[in-house]
Structure 1
């Protein structure tokens, strides 16, 4: 194996960083290299990868590697006759460092070469599409907006006396000395690449997925607890037999007393799905009611205005709440639309056949998107290229 002088130089600097013998100039060169190769630097400096580097290095002749290193770096080895104890130590350290350099260089070559084999036109570490994060935009009744970021903490009081508290867990509305006046309604929205959790004044927990919006009263009043949803949310509804909890979407409404379920009602999708994990809910589309129990799902077809009830694998539809993506024989267009909400990526299908390709996968929601793209590329029927930040997808 021949490594370029460029790779040897990078490896030499990395070895100096490892041994804390680097100069200021080497530190500057390393920082420049790290900015351009962030993921690769992380891989190399991860001690868990050491065994991988060793396995790669063992494929090559160490003596030959030393000679190649000497020739490439123009190192002059002192003869034993002219060495004192200090020189001997220097020679030992130099040879030890050189072996380390060769080992790292082999590891560097391994990562560079492997990524070229997997993605010839664009190494996987050249870009990284990060996962979404915690965040939301809160719109108050008076029209003022508050952008909430991860781990932000603040407390404010609504005009009716309801306390609004945010912490690392989300927003918590606490009814405290509430005035007897008309209902005040706020709206919380998650933008692309965001998720958020809020606890309503009755104790109901709502987990909002990306690109979702919930309109709700800061303190429930009246015979029913009514909220409005656009997007996807998982509800853990506090029990209150005297005051049913009602979620309204543009197409249907869901009525519950106390239960846990997932409601997906994106306005740009063709169906609305209600999936129940516990309890019982009633779905109404303006013409008919459908009751479902644990393990069942109602799918409302917008165009046909029909509702179908079926038994489903509940975990598949709750996976996003547990930090997973689970796709089972789903259309690639639907998969990409769902992923784009979370990863904030742009894509374009080059033909209709590509949209209808069927895919299945189980992936970590909080990892970057690169493994998902790599998985799709391994499908011989799918072609994916990336240009100017847009993924172009076609069928082979």
Structure 2
């Protein structure tokens, strides 16, 4: 099968999945309607794809598909040709492994309203008494347990008041005065939690699970600079005289006033900057990229070129609303997201299983067993669970 045929098949699968889930954009609805109104064969293909018996047959065929032997045949070619590989060239190799199930998995959704659940081997252990708490580290090194904080305000050594608001929000005095001496606080959010902070300039930051933000109690005159580890969603207060900069492990994001998401976890190969509104500039030692809304920049290393692509930002900020939403994402990407929230480790029996793709949405308040059982029902994989370790196996 030619590359263009593969890409077209995956595109159709995605359009059907998005329309079936009710999450299609207006453009996707139009594209799907146009495709369905085309040749009579399109309607016939659609009926076959959404037929439950055919979906089950696809799963059964995958169960007999020897993906590991296909990978062992292909892997040496990847190693010998890696220096001159381009993304389109890789498609044909990935398709040889995964094509029998990709279209089906694109349209069978992780719908939280589905009835019934698969039995997992054993339950994932999430020990409540071992969970960490949200910690605020003050300039003098004092650590404040926000979960146990009783008073409404905290006072820093320079007199700045920190308000402990309802709804998991800390707020610093919003003042126009600039600090002569910068003193820093650090807010650390543990596994399975989210927290929000309003900085002294009015900028609000939402921090995801296993993330931390280092920031000045009051900003200086010339710039506003913070340091992020993990994932944060920023709504930056506009101040043309003082650019706002976010430092990550691989680069710097600079803005005047805008909304964007940054994901910069140590176990990812890249930092991802996703722009919701406004304009930002992303820089590293190699590149400087100006982004527009809907752009996503991937920074793989401080000394490598930045990769840009168009995305739907909603999927990358859904965590701020207590959701996990995925649009044709790799299983490896999805399970890394879940591992950070539920504090579990993930292993794979076959490396090719990482390449399976899914579209769907689940709530982060659900038990992980519920989410895993839904994934199990969508394609030929199952999860073997031992304590806090999950192994992904071919069904």
- Scaled by the length of structure 1, the TM-score of the pair is 0.64
Using a 3 Å threshold, how does the CA distance of structure 1 residues 202 and 380 change in structure 2: closer, same or farther? closer
Partner of residue 309, structure 1:
308
2-structure distance, mates of 1:356, 1:130:
31
2-structure distance, mates of 1:173, 1:120:
46
Larger CA deviation: 349-358 vs 316-325:
349-358
SS at match of 1:378: helix
2-structure distance, mates of 1:284, 1:240:
20
2-structure distance, mates of 1:120, 1:269:
27
Decide whether the 8 Å contact of 1:134 with 1:194 is kept in 2. no
- Scaled by the length of structure 2, the TM-score of the pair is 0.64
Q: RMSD value over aligned CA atoms?
A: 2.8
Deviation at 1:175, TM superposition (A): 4.9
Partner of residue 165, structure 1:
163
1-structure distance, mates of 2:192, 2:278:
31
Using a 3 Å threshold, how does the CA distance of structure 1 residues 364 and 130 change in structure 2: closer, same or farther? farther
Using a 3 Å threshold, how does the CA distance of structure 1 residues 322 and 150 change in structure 2: closer, same or farther? farther
1-structure distance, mates of 2:341, 2:262:
17
Using a 3 Å threshold, how does the CA distance of structure 1 residues 353 and 150 change in structure 2: closer, same or farther? farther
2-structure distance, mates of 1:356, 1:332:
6
Decide whether the 8 Å contact of 1:153 with 1:167 is kept in 2. no
Partner of residue 138, structure 1:
136
Decide whether the 8 Å contact of 1:134 with 1:196 is kept in 2. no
Using a 3 Å threshold, how does the CA distance of structure 1 residues 381 and 245 change in structure 2: closer, same or farther? same
1-structure distance, mates of 2:137, 2:210:
15
- Please show how residues 1-396 of structure 1 align to structure 2 within 5 Å: 118-119=118-119, 136-149=134-147, 153-169=151-167, 170-175=169-174, 181-302=180-301, 305-396=304-395
- Aligned pair count reads 278
**Runs of 5+ unmatched residues, structure 1:** 1-113
Using a 3 Å threshold, how does the CA distance of structure 1 residues 289 and 381 change in structure 2: closer, same or farther? same
Q: Which 4+ residue blocks in structure 1 deviate beyond 3 angstroms?
A: 126-131, 150-154, 175-181
Decide whether the 8 Å contact of 2:296 with 2:309 is kept in 1. yes
2-structure distance, mates of 1:152, 1:363:
33
**Runs of 5+ unmatched residues, structure 2:** 1-114
1-structure distance, mates of 2:119, 2:290:
50
**Deviations 1:50-108, CA, capped at 9 Å, x for gaps:** xxxxxxxxxxxxxxxxxxxxxxxxxxxxxxxxxxxxxxxxxxxxxxxxxxxxxxxxxxx
Partner of residue 77, structure 1:
none
2-structure distance, mates of 1:121, 1:263:
35
**Deviations 1:183-203, CA, capped at 9 Å, x for gaps:** 111111111112110000000
Decide whether the 8 Å contact of 2:279 with 2:292 is kept in 1. yes
SS at match of 1:371: helix
Decide whether the 8 Å contact of 1:160 with 1:181 is kept in 2. no
Using a 3 Å threshold, how does the CA distance of structure 1 residues 206 and 151 change in structure 2: closer, same or farther? same
Using a 3 Å threshold, how does the CA distance of structure 1 residues 172 and 382 change in structure 2: closer, same or farther? same
Partner of residue 57, structure 2:
none
Deviation at 1:272, TM superposition (A): 1.1
1-structure distance, mates of 2:150, 2:333:
33
Decide whether the 8 Å contact of 1:160 with 1:178 is kept in 2. no
Deviation at 1:383, TM superposition (A): 1.9
Deviation at 1:375, TM superposition (A): 0.8
Deviation at 1:230, TM superposition (A): 1.1
